[in-house]
Amino acid sequence: MELSKVRRASYNPRTMNSSARDGLRESMNDFGDISGIVINKQTNNILAGNHRFDELSKKHGRGNLKLNHLEGEWYSLDLKDGKTTGFKARVVDWDLEKEQLANVVANNDMITGEYTSDLQPLLKKLSVKMPKVKMDALKVSPMMIDDSMESDLDLEDEYETPEIVKEKSEESSRKRKEKDIDLDADDPTAPSNVREIVGSIKVIAPADILDELKFDILEALSGKDYYDDINIIKG
């Protein structure tokens, strides 16, 4: 199959901005072929991997690329001087309708799965080992590390001394102890029982003063950053 005849599918409903393209280029340089390029020989359309093929063409020159058959539908994308790009292409023999459906399915976010809660600790660990410029170049930091968690990132965790670990443990235990809190004895809306329980505050109060009471408690506890939540329970 002649690569000179291969073209992007004109109907392709996907696009990529310059920032995403920069990230793709960085990924290809770092990891090589971790996705795929699929070409339909009936139409000469690239139905998957359009942007990867574009990047290879820019890097090596479109006229310097050629396909060398490996086995079955698989070809290696090589250079005319005998060197390889490290990328492969799958060449299929499909009608246009099957090609178009495959193009849509290949880009369907509904069948790619989703990240679990394990993503954040993994990214935290990677952010310690990898330079920020690399994480940014691969579009990992801005996309996946939630701003709300940045204050919780402790990049020194792996290097803490036993003394620091012990100190943190004691501080955590202190914060988690149940203790009575005196808000304002003269306040008629003060609850009869306010306790800190594992980082949250539970309040038992009459239903008709719940909103007012929550505001009073928030105001009274301002500055005590270890109270993560206030739970108002109808008494």
Q: CB of 100 within 8 A of CB of 40?
A: no
HSE value, Cβ hemisphere, 13 Å, CA-based, for 230: 20
pLDDT tens digits for range 3-62: 888 998 888 877 888 888 788 888 888 888 888 899 999 999 999 999 899 999 999 999
Q: CB of 193 within 8 A of CB of 178?
A: no
Measure the CA–CA gap between 44 and 149, rounded to whole angstroms. 47
pLDDT tens digits for range 146-201: 543 444 444 444 444 555 555 655 665 555 444 444 444 455 444 444 443 334 44
Taking the whole predicted model, whether its pTM rises above 0.85 is answered as no
